[in-house]
Amino acid sequence: MTIEMPPRGTPAQSRAAYRFDGHRGDAQWSLALCELEASLRRAGVEATLNGQIGAVDAVLRGTAGRRRSRTQRTVLRPHRGRLWWWLRVPPEEANAPYLTPLAPAAEPAAVARRIRGLLTAVQD
């Protein structure tokens, strides 16, 4: 195996990856996170925002008919030149991929509706 090192003074990552990792605080990224958090709250789901990793954790608290709360992590990642929300699949779901594309970041209400549906459909 041959490992090539970039010349001194150049980033070790491609320009696109470097730009993506270095701009998590940009306006588009922050706006998408805040819009999904607000849409989830409007849908009656608690939401916790994590700007460092670009994730929103949706929590539907247990009610009298349910024994425990349900949580779903959704992460913001690029997909085909746009930002998309991806569902992080729990490890116990062995047949599913680790991340599943959900919807473009420009559609926070649709994403919140789908997440709420997922959380309410899963019964203990």
Sign of CA dihedral 8, 10, 11, 12: negative
Instruction: Name the nearest CA neighbour of 72 among 56, 85, 61, 84.
Output: 56
pLDDT for 87-109, tens place per residue?
A: 987 666 666 667 888 999 999 99
Q: What confidence score (pLDDT) does residue 100 get? A: 85
Model confidence at 115, in pLDDT bands (50, 70, 90)? very high
pLDDT average, residue stretch 44-56:
92
**How is the beta sheet containing 46-50 ordered, strand by strand?**
46-50, 55-60, 70-79, 82-88, 99-104
Q: What confidence score (pLDDT) does residue 6 get? A: 54
* Rounded Cα–Cα distance for residues 7 and 38 (Å): 45
Report whether pLDDT(122) > 90. no
- The SS3 assignment for 121 reads helix
Query: pLDDT averaged over the chain?
Result: 78
